[in-house]
Chains A and B, each alone.
Chain A
């Protein structure tokens, strides 16, 4: 692993026993874990290639405890790494050896469900699916649905701005959260937003959501809940080339239809998924689309007909619409199990997450095939086709010398390619440590400095989750300085009137 993490703070490590004792005074009993064996489960998140044992794990159960722990760490200049369910795919909650790992799992209660205002107030440790479970008996649900929704927490969803297969129509976490309570590193508790729609003053939620644990620790979340559509129907469409599939996606959207979900899989992914869950996917196609439409039955069937017509005109060789809820769920079973399915055909796989303008798909896929030859590693593709979010799965074997290294280089090349064609490094998995050092391919020094100044507004000492997101750590004081050469440019040409 070539990743360079912030230099260890020997002064803090030398005081470990004292720090553990101080934390125990704040969070009593089993809320503080300091033995290496018991901390082992926390040594990595969903990005298992990177591991580190934290200095100590703290599991607070009240806002007051969170506040006191953070204030203590702030006063003692101790780094803090927040953690939700630990499902991050970018190393967002990778521990640091000289930092407190602050686990929010005990904040697992649904506090209020308000159907009249269509919101739920939950603690951050509630799972994504847990929100839907709490409201589904009234026919409501929480729209963002990342694949890890059984396990991932709402707090983690806020940190990563999680998406899912339905965000084409229903938006990401960003578009479905109305308020948070958040504790700053200083221990101050902020309440931002509420049950109303527009922000009061600066829209802090827009930067807190997706901030990857660098701005504060969220202790309460107000999410929007939606009434479940009456029906949902999906259609499976197979194509002889991925170009034809990409063309079909563009034509569906160009015709004015925004499906609830539109997913694409390539041949490797189709074969792996079919072998794993037997969803009935056609094996004689190069690309498979799953298009889902939801709403009243009349709307679904009418749009389904239009989508089918478009698909035929794009040269679809297979076309199957779901005629029952079982069949629809079965269509999705293969897609939802695509990652573990690929895991069965390879000892290890590395999941990437770039977004590209949809129209660049054929180009990106063909370049990816070339890279695959160059690195001598296979790649399977699943793709949120509707919004251009690509998940190439690079297959490798960690037991073979240098395969992990090759997989990582291959992945980095894919992401650089995404940026080159007008896309971005990460669509929904976050920067974390994984894409940190690639940030300069998308942003220049000034762009990154401005982002870090925003971080400084919340955490001037840089104690929250250092080593994540930003490739270089600058001190806030240094970033705050202004270098303007007054009078250097007299702007003689600047029109005035």
Chain B
């Protein structure tokens, strides 16, 4: 068994990292470990568990700003924000259901390190867009800070945003400052039923290119829609468009949407609570949470190419797909544990990239989870890693071999 460190403050993190760096040890950096299954399978000497660094450092609702220690549980934070009618507008995803873990697990540090945003990403941006400030311990065992607590800030490089999606390979975050926003007063969802994937992507492009201010655009083919937790009247594919804001504005935009979409197929509307439950299920990819052993991919692609890419992968592998972000985010669930990496990557063909989110340990040991970088990007990626973590102490090998 390897050692596990559970530091209580950033100075103890410094000690642990210094120990690892001086002794050539590799640390696995975790919060609650809820997303531990994502990434390449790598060998670590010890675990650095930062869940002991917990607590809200600053929350000023009128300033739209929130800071917490990196190990603070997301569920506590989201409750606090909700009590103040605020939220993280990027809808951080709860990975519990698809990874076979508990729902509502995870810390704010893990959330930013993974940077998986929900349906509103198309309107509000990703977690990275809302990251304002960070304090962290580098692989050099040095505490540094970057950014600040204000929204508009160009003082120095925007390292808080660089931390987003770096999977703990650059630094151990200790405190994170994010922008928060008011929760919309009302929400409704317009559904178009029975569309093919191709037609659905066209309809979503039309809606996104309108002034209807759509804050969610997803398409669930019939078999995937059937796995939604809520009852659906029609046994068809579902293409959904979310409208949020104040009631009179939603009413006006709903009429516009209905006029725009009527040539596509029959329409339906989900009201407030059902609408919220629907988008939560899309956010957490609930339809793909049933089979824990089947390989699951997350693709970020050019939206208009979505149906083509999803279709090619399905045809080659028998996979099921769910489209979010107007076609720009595709979740692909393989029939079994075979990830069919070649089929996935060749379907994308330069129009985005894919991350293998769920795979069995043996697959993770051999698959190219994050894909491969071209030579130029690989070089900068290596230099970047070296600048933050020259000894390769922090989550080495989790994203790419040698990084």
Contacts and interface: CB of A to CB of B under 8 A. Distances in A.
Interface of A: 114-118, 139-140, 160-161, 163, 167-168, 171-172, 174-175, 184, 188-190, 192, 194-204, 206-207, 209-211, 227-230, 250-251, 253-254, 256-258, 295-299, 302-303, 355-359, 384, 387-389, 422-431, 435, 439, 442-443, 446-451, 453-458, 460, 469, 480, 482, 484-487, 489, 491, 493-497
Interface stretch (B92-100, B244-252, B282-290): B244-252
Contacts of B248: 298-299, 302
Contacts of B62: 250-251, 253-254, 358-359
A206 B164 contact: yes
24 contacts: A116-B303, A163-B152, A190-B380, A195-B302, A197-B329, A202-B381, A203-B161, A204-B377, A204-B380, A207-B158, A207-B159, A210-B158, A229-B213, A254-B61, A297-B252, A355-B152, A387-B150, A448-B156, A450-B144, A457-B386, A482-B391, A484-B22, A496-B4, A497-B6
A54 B181 CA distance: 46
B130 to A, nearest CB: 9
B154 A426 contact: yes
B155 A426 contact: yes
B353 A200 contact: yes
Nearest to B117: A198
A203 B4 CA distance: 30
Interface string B120-149: 011001101100000000101111111011
**Secondary structure of the B side of the interface?**
mixed
A456 B122 CA distance: 33
Interface stretch (B224-232, B314-322, B368-376): B368-376
Nearest to B185: A256
Given A198-B300, A447-B145, A115 B128 contact: no
A357 B303 CA distance: 37
B277 interface: no
Contact of A206 (B6, B23, B61, B161): B161
A206 B150 contact: no
A198 B117 CA distance: 9
> For this complex, into which size category does the number of interface residues on chain B fall?
35 or more
Contacts of A211: 157
B3 interface: yes
Nearest to A497: B4
A66 to B, nearest CB: 15
B76 interface: no
Contacts of A384: 152
Interface of B: 3-8, 12, 15-16, 18-19, 21-23, 52, 60-65, 85, 115, 117, 121-122, 125-126, 128-129, 138, 140-146, 148-159, 161-162, 164-166, 170, 181-183, 185, 205, 208-211, 213, 245-246, 248-249, 251-253, 300-304, 325, 328-329, 350-353, 370-371, 373, 376-377, 379-381, 383-384, 386-388, 390-391, 399-400
Given A192-B377, A450-B142, A482-B390, A496 B150 contact: no
Given A188-B376, A196-B328, 14 more contacts: A167-B152, A196-B300, A207-B162, A210-B157, A211-B157, A297-B252, A355-B152, A355-B153, A357-B65, A359-B60, A443-B145, A456-B383, A457-B387, A489-B18
Contact of A454 (B19, B63, B157, B246): B157
Contact of A489 (B15, B157, B170): B15
B139 to A, nearest CB: 9
Nearest to A489: B15
Given A117-B304, A197-B329, A302-B248, A484 B140 contact: yes
Given A175-B125, A357-B60, A357-B149, A486 B22 contact: yes
A490 to B, nearest CB: 9
A387 B377 contact: no
Most-contacted residue by chain A among B85, B181, B246, B350 (CB, 10 A): B246
Most-contacted residue by chain B among A188, A229, A230 (CB, 10 A): A230
A428 B154 CA distance: 6
Contacts of A439: 155-156
Contact of B211 (A160, A171, A227, A422): A227
Nearest to B160: A206
Nearest to B158: A206
Contact of B300 (A197, A228, A455): A197
B400 A201 contact: yes
Given A207-B159, A424-B150, A491-B19, A230 B211 contact: yes
A274 B371 CA distance: 58
